[in-house]
């Protein structure tokens, strides 16, 4: 099916997707718990055919292949990596054969890799891309009509999957993410950021699947339909699972499910299906109520989104000037250059935090540095900055290769700074913006040099605009820079800059403008006065965004002397220099006021300042604070604040991991100094992902956070049976066992561990967690506690050993 046909179909009528595959196979007794569900495509195809047939008979227009876990890493867990091609091809073949009599479509299903991308995990962006590309090729060659990427929880993994799907499949691509009850993914991405990124990367439809119950998901669907113009899908679970008569049961009814679907229909959703716990009965009622209806009308104002992993701004919806911080630039900063060359990013992170604190809504990253690998440096800098601030980024480089590495590392929708009117530059940079879903700054100069007049700059802007449209970039992705020249050298040119902004605003009201403000004061005294005056003149002309130093403050922002120079009324800057030439220079540093050593340590853990931990620890211990006091008065309270920030949604998983790593580095310095009888150390805990489940993303995060709180963690890995867990608990004499499950089909294995513990009268306590696990389920299986995330796991573990 062609992409245009798919979008046309979705614009004309409501389309019904099928329901759950895994839980339906489990319900029918088709899963033995030992093998991969995808292996049934080859070994027992009739079992899969039966599920497909029932969904088709219920009214599904699109059925999804049984390939959710049919990528190389997941199949490798079952020693099936060599069968990847055959498993995927068989899934498509049998689905197509069942779909043909119903004139239905087949969507090839692509699920997550099963591990976080760097820096959250160990999988690189390129590795993830390769994994998804391999599966996409298999599904494409087998004849799938559509590719559906679903149940994604990490936005960069989704971006890698979208690129791989589009590169290896000539048809419609759908993208779906899974969200928690607070409307964010476990890594902090909100629904609007997900929608903005998917629209920028031009998927054919986006949507929500799995996640929370249908009612909550309907509210999230409304955010998407009111924010972007793409078709939207809605595939919730049948509620959250419970244990009834020793079976995992989803409590939602078809009637409750369809009531939420009707609410989502009213918001303008185009496609409806079901995820975990839904059955052919759900799809039958869904089809009866919605199939063939015209989609509800949607009205969305024009948007110009920029986003980070956790935050989206719409620069089309504000009249306020947007400040782009310029300070992440090592030019003429020797110590900063030396740090970057040595792989030390402490100043970079400090500058990022300080600029955002002073009002920067976007951060420019310019790392052109002699002797450095700018590609690697750009990628690392993007990762480091994204760990400490939540604003969108502006990737500033003249090297296409460096920009591409930065785009791969970027978790949101960034800006590329910049492209000019040179045909070679346009051909090198514009395809990157199109491919990775980035906005672009069009610098209004070309191979001939700096244009002298406003009219010449507008002419270059028109060429850039025409080239951008040729590559498929809309006007809402373009920001023009009409050049800021030094008032000391060419003051007469500034009037042309301001005039070009006025013309652009009138001719292209949807296009935004930007200037690098600090260039205007190069070579002159009292630069802040001139910068401020020029900024005000540019804003009066209609400037949208400004690249500047957010730390600068100047009381005389409307100083007539500075304005006279900028407007060409002060020849040779005579009056300006007479007024400001002898004023002392002001400097800004992002480091702030030096704190006492113990507060520095506290701040380093809260901020995740890994590079500085060793130095700060040495200073703290030399100050006379004992190792035990250092742990109890600095490190552990800092981690408690991190937990509080996480609870308030000020921090997300990346920041929690960063702080955990900093705390681990601090404890590494402390442990040799602590006496065994000092009372230090939280205890020993066994962690395992239960039998049949090959996912350990969440468990690995829990392990890192527990270790940062002083726990000795024995990680047994994934797909671990009850006997192995109990044997390890006995051998290690552990006080706690933590069990993880990511699949609803493996949750019951937790109960097997609890029963074996009780039968053997073993003294350890059990904490359970994972995406489908709830507190109610934990109580029903007899677990001692439930933890919804890594931060809560650390608190819960402490309370189980030493109750508050």
Q: Which CATH number fits domain 305-580: 3.20.20.140, 3.40.109.10, 3.20.20.20, 3.40.190.170?
A: 3.20.20.20
Task: Name the one residue in this structure whose structure tokens are 């986006």.
Answer: 206
Please answer whether residues 632 and 656 qualify as being in contact, where contact means their C-beta atoms are separated by less than 8 angstroms.
Answer: no
Contact criterion met (CB below 8 Å) for 378 and 398: no
For the chain, give the number of residues: 804
Angle at 429 between CA 426 and CA 435, to 5 degrees: 125
pLDDT value of residue 33: 66
Predicted pLDDT of residue 585 = 56
In sign, the C-alpha dihedral spanning 570, 574, 575, 577 is positive
User: How far apart (Å, rounded) are the C-alpha atoms in residues 203 and 257?
Assistant: 27
Question: What percentage of the chain exceeds 90 in pLDDT?
Answer: 72
Check pLDDT > 60 for residue 494: yes
Distance CA 469, CA 466 (A): 5
**pLDDT value of residue 69:** 96
pTM, entire model: 0.89
Give one DSSP letter per residue of 124-165, joined into a string: -HHHHHHHHHHHHHHHHHHT-SEEEEEEE--HHHHHHHHHHH
Average pLDDT over residues 298-319: 92
The reported pLDDT for the residue numbered 583 is 63
**pLDDT attached to residue 246:** 73
The 10s digit of each residue's pLDDT in 2-58 is 999 999 999 999 999 999 999 999 999 998 766 899 999 999 999 999 999 999 999
Name the pLDDT band for 589 (thresholds 50, 70, 90).
very low
Supply the DSSP string of 187-207, one letter for each residue: T--BHHHHHHHHHHTT-SEEE
C-alpha Rg value of the chain to the nearest Å: 29
* C-alpha–C-alpha distance, residues 579 and 563, integer Å: 13
Question: Helices 280-290 & 45-58, crossing angle to 10 degrees?
Answer: 30
Residue 591's pLDDT band, with cuts at 50, 70 and 90, is very low
Say if residue 590's pLDDT is above 80.
no
Residues of the chain with CATH 3.20.20.20: 305-580
d(CA 635, CA 558): 48
pLDDT tens digits, 182-235 = 899 989 999 999 999 999 999 999 999 997 889 999 999 999 999 999 999 999
3-state SS, residue 413: strand
Closest CA to 310 of 219, 221, 393: 393
* Class (C level, CATH) for 593-676: mainly alpha
Average pLDDT estimate for 626-639: 89
Look up residue 348 and give its two tokens.
């970079």
Mean pLDDT of the chain: 92
Six-digit token string for 294? 């015209």
- Say if residues 438 and 462 touch (Cβ distance below 8 Å): no
772 in Cβ contact with 743 (< 8 Å): yes
Judged against a pLDDT cut of 90, whether residue 341 lies above it is answered with yes
Residue carrying the six token digits 């009637």? 255
pLDDT given for residue 247 in this prediction: 77
pLDDT band at 727 (very low <50, low <70, confident <90, very high): very high
CATH 3.20.20.330 residue ranges of the chain are: 3-290
Calpha distance 444→453 (Å, rounded): 11
Secondary structure tally for the chain: helices H, strands E = 32, 25
Tokens standing for 474? 């809309």
CB within 8 A of 714, min separation 6: which ones?
A: 684, 685, 686, 687, 728, 732, 734
Residue 249 pairs in a beta bridge with 242
Q: What is the second-level CATH architecture of the domain 681-804?
A: 3-Layer(aba) Sandwich (3.40)
Average pLDDT over residues 686-694: 90
Statement: residue 76 has pLDDT above 70: yes
Tell me, rounded to whole angstroms, the distance of Cα 244 from its chain centroid.
36
Averaged pLDDT, 90-110: 99
Burial of 329 (0-12, 13-18, 19+ CB in 10 A): middle
Residue 417's pLDDT band, with cuts at 50, 70 and 90, is very high
The distance of Cα 300 from the centroid of its chain, to the nearest Å, equals 24
CA distance 195 to 312: 10
Strand 242-244 and strand 247-249: the pairing is antiparallel
More confidently predicted of 596 and 349: 349
User: What pLDDT shows up at residue 653?
Assistant: 84
Distance, in Å, from the CA atom of 577 to the CA atom of 531, rounded to the nearest integer, reads 15
What are the start-end ranges of the H helices in 279-321? 280-290
Asked if residue 584 has pLDDT above 70, the reply is no
- Res 559: pLDDT: 63
- Closest to 771 measured CA to CA, from 152, 333, 261: 152
In angstroms, rounded to a whole number, what is the distance separating the alpha carbons of residues 574 and 585? Answer: 19
* Axis crossing angle, helix 494-507 with helix 454-470, rounded to the nearest 10: 50
Q: What is the DSSP string of 517-546?
A: GGGGGTT-SSHHHHHHHHHHHHHHHT--EE
C-beta of residue 351 within 8 angstroms of C-beta of residue 333: no
For β-strands 312-314 and 305-307, DSSP reports them as: antiparallel
- pLDDT band per the 50, 70, 90 thresholds, residue 566: confident
| Residue 361 CB partners (closer than 8 Å, separation 6+) | 313, 322, 323, 324, 391, 392
Distance CA 505, CA 498 (A): 11
Domain 3-290 has CATH 3.20.20.330: yes
Which pLDDT score is estimated for 303? 92
Which of 239, 284, 244 lies closest to 257 in space, CA to CA? 239
Question: What's the confidence (pLDDT) of residue 207?
Answer: 98
């Amino acid at each position: 099916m062609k992409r245009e046909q798919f979008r046309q179909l979705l614009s004309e009528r409501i389309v019904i997707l099928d329901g759950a595959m895994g839980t339906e196979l489990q319900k029918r007794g088709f899963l033995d718990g030992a093998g991969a569900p995808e292996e049934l495509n080859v070994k027992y195809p009739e079992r899969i055919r039966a599920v497909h047939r029932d969904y088709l008979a219920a009214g599904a227009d699109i059925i999804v292949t049984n390939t959710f876990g049919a990528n190389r890493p997941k199949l490798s867990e079952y020693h099936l990596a060599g069968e990847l091609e055959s498993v995927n091809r068989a899934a498509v073949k049998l689905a197509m054969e069942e779909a043909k009599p119903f004139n239905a479509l087949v969507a090839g299903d692509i699920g997550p890799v099963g591990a976080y991308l760097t820096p959250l995990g160990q999988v690189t962006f390129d590795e993830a891309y390769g994994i998804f590309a391999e599966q996409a090729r298999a599904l494409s060659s087998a004849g799938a009509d559509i590719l559906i990427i679903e149940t994604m929880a990490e936005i960069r993994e989704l971006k890698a999957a979208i690129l791989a799907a589009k590169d290896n499949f000539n048809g419609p691509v759908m993208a779906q993410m899974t969200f928690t009850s607070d409307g964010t993914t476990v890594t902090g991405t909100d629904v609007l950021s997900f929608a903005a990124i998917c629209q920028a990367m031009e998927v054919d439809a986006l949507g929500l699947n799995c996640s929370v119950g249908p009612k909550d998901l309907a509210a999230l669907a409304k955010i998407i339909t009111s924010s972007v113009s793409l078709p939207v899908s809605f595939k919730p679970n049948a509620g959250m699972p419970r244990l009834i008569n020793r079976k995992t049961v989803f409590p939602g009814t078809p009637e409750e499910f369809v009531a939420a679907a009707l609410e989502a229909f009213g918001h303008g959703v185009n496609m409806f299906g079901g995820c975990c716990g839904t059955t052919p009965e759900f799809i039958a009622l869904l089809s009866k109520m919605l199939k063939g209806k015209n989609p509800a009308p949607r009205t969305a104002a024009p948007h110009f989104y920029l986003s980070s992993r956790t935050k989206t701004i719409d620069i089309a919806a504000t009249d306020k000037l947007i400040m782009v911080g310029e300070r992440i630039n090592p030019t003429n900063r020797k110590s900063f250059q030396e740090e970057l060359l040595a792989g030390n990013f402490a100043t970079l992170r400090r500058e990022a935090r300080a600029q955002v604190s002073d009002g920067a809504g976007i951060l420019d990253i310019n790392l052109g540095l002699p002797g450095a690998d700018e590609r690697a440096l750009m990628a690392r800098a993007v990762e480091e900055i994204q760990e400490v601030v939540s604003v969108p980024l502006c990737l500033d480089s003249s090297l296409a290769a460096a920009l591409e590495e930065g785009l791969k590392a970027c978790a949101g929708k960034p800006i590329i700074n910049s492209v000019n009117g040179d045909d070679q530059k346009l051909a090198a940079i514009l395809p990157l913006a199109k491919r990775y879903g980035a906005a672009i700054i069009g610098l209004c100069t070309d191979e001939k040099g700096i244009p002298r007049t406003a009219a010449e700059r507008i002419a270059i802007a028109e060429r850039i605009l025409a080239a951008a449209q040729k590559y498929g970039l809309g006007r809402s992705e373009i920001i023009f820079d009409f050049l800021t020249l030094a008032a000391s050298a060419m003051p007469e040119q500034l009037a042309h800059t301001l005039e070009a902004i006025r013309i652009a605003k009138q001719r292209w009201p949807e296009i935004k403008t930007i200037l690098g403000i600090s260039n205007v004061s190069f070579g002159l005294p009292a630069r802040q006065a001139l910068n401020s005056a020029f900024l005000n003149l540019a804003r009066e002309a209609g400037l949208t965004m400004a690249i500047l130093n957010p730390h600068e403050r100047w009381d005389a922002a409307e100083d007539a002397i500075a304005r006279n120079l900028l407007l060409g009324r002060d020849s040779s800057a005579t009056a300006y220099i007479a007024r400001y030439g002898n004023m002392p220079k002001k400097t800004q540093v992002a480091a702030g006021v030096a704190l006492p050593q113990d507060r520095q340590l506290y701040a380093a853990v809260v901020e995740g300042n890994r590079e500085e931990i060793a130095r700060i620890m040495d200073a703290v211990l030399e100050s006379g604070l004992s190792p035990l006091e250092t742990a109890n008065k600095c490190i552990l309270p800092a981690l408690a604040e991190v937990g509080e920030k996480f609870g308030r949604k000020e921090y997300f998983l990346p920041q929690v991991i960063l702080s955990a790593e900093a705390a681990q580095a601090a404890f590494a310095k402390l442990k040799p100094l602590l006496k065994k009888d000092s009372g230090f150390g939280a205890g020993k805990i066994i962690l395992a992902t239960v039998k049949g489940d090959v996912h350990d993303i969440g468990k690995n995060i829990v392990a890192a956070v527990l270790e940062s709180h002083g726990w000795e963690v024995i990680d047994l890995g994934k797909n671990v049976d009850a006997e192995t867990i109990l044997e390890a608990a006995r051998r290690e004499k552990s006080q706690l066992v933590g069990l993880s499950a990511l699949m609803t089909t493996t949750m019951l294995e937790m109960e097997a561990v609890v029963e074996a513990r009780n039968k053997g009268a073993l003294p350890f306590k059990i904490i359970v967690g994972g995406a489908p696990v709830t507190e109610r389920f934990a109580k029903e299986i007899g677990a001692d506690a439930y933890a919804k995330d890594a931060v809560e796991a650390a608190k819960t573990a402490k309370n189980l050993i030493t109750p508050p």
